[in-house]
Amino acid sequence: MSEDTQHKADMQKLQAEQQRKVEEATDPERGLILVYTGNGKGKSSSAFGVIARALGWGKSVGVVQFIKGKWLSGERQFFSKLGNVDWFSMGEGFTWDTQDRARDIAAAETAFEKACLMMASGDYDLIVLDEINIALRYDYLTVDAVLAGLKARAERTSVILTGRDAPANLCDYADLVSEMREIKHPFKAGIKAQRGIDY
């Protein structure tokens, strides 16, 4: 058998297997829970990519940012120009900026109250809880409270939770967990964050 003939046979086999999996898959008829975690860059960026995908299908989208403060980012400016994403930046910046645990806890709790109202409202197809895993890592929120909020969401609502160190219980509950792994980072080489690339 020639190399081309073997390749075609292999691809036909893969195609048949993929078609079988697609035919056997079912629609859960509910929103999904997606977790983007890990120590590498790209967690929030991936979530914002899903926002663009959802908007392309005319879906309703909301964002609650737990850590990132009021500073401007490219994604926030872009989606604000579109005018069809409800965006709430409710953090006060990086955890080392405030240096006030009680203040950070209060900010996280306020942000989560807003997120719970949005998730339960039935108004959204997709909600991104950006950097909520950081709030969980520092015990600003409890995993039990976050799981309860997710379970109380409207049936149609999918939720993406970003940030490193996602807790095991949250990952167990999620439908999808993706881990970004850092291999190389320009900041470690002394290169400062770049507008349009990093923020």
**pLDDT tens across 101-155, in order?**
888 899 999 999 999 999 999 999 999 999 999 999 999 999 999 999 999 999 9
Domain ranges, residue 177: 28-189
pLDDT at 27 over 90: no
Residue in 119, 108, 59 with CA at minimum distance from that of residue 85: 59
Phi and psi angles of residue 193, each rounded to the nearest 5 degrees, phi first: -60, 135
Q: Is residue 123 part of a domain?
A: yes
Residue 147 lies in a domain: yes
Rounded Cα–Cα distance for residues 79 and 82 (Å): 5
Q: How does residue 95 score in pLDDT terms, banded at 50, 70 and 90?
A: low
Give the count of alpha carbons within 13 A of 138, CB side only. Answer: 22
Q: How many folded domains does the chain comprise?
A: 1
Contacts for 186 with CB less than 8 Å, ≥ 6 apart: 194
Q: Considering the domain boundaries, does residue 64 fall inside one?
A: yes
- Residue 96 in this model has a pLDDT that exceeds 60: no
Is residue 22 situated within a structural domain?
no
1 falls within a domain = no
The CATH code of the domain that includes 69 is 3.40.50.300
- Asked if 135 contacts 106 with a C-beta cutoff of 8 angstroms, the reply is no
State the pLDDT confidence band at 98, using cuts at 50, 70 and 90: low
In whole angstroms, give the CA distance from residue 139 to residue 39.
18
Residue 110's contacts (CB-CB under 8 Å, 6 or more residues apart) are 90
Q: What is the pLDDT of residue 198?
A: 81
Taking Cα atoms as reference points, which of 152, 170, 131 lies closest to residue 34?
170
- When mean pLDDT is compared across 5-14, 51-60, 62-71, 172-181, the lowest value belongs to 62-71
Q: How far apart are CA 160 and CA 172, in angstroms?
A: 14
Do the domain assignments include residue 16? no
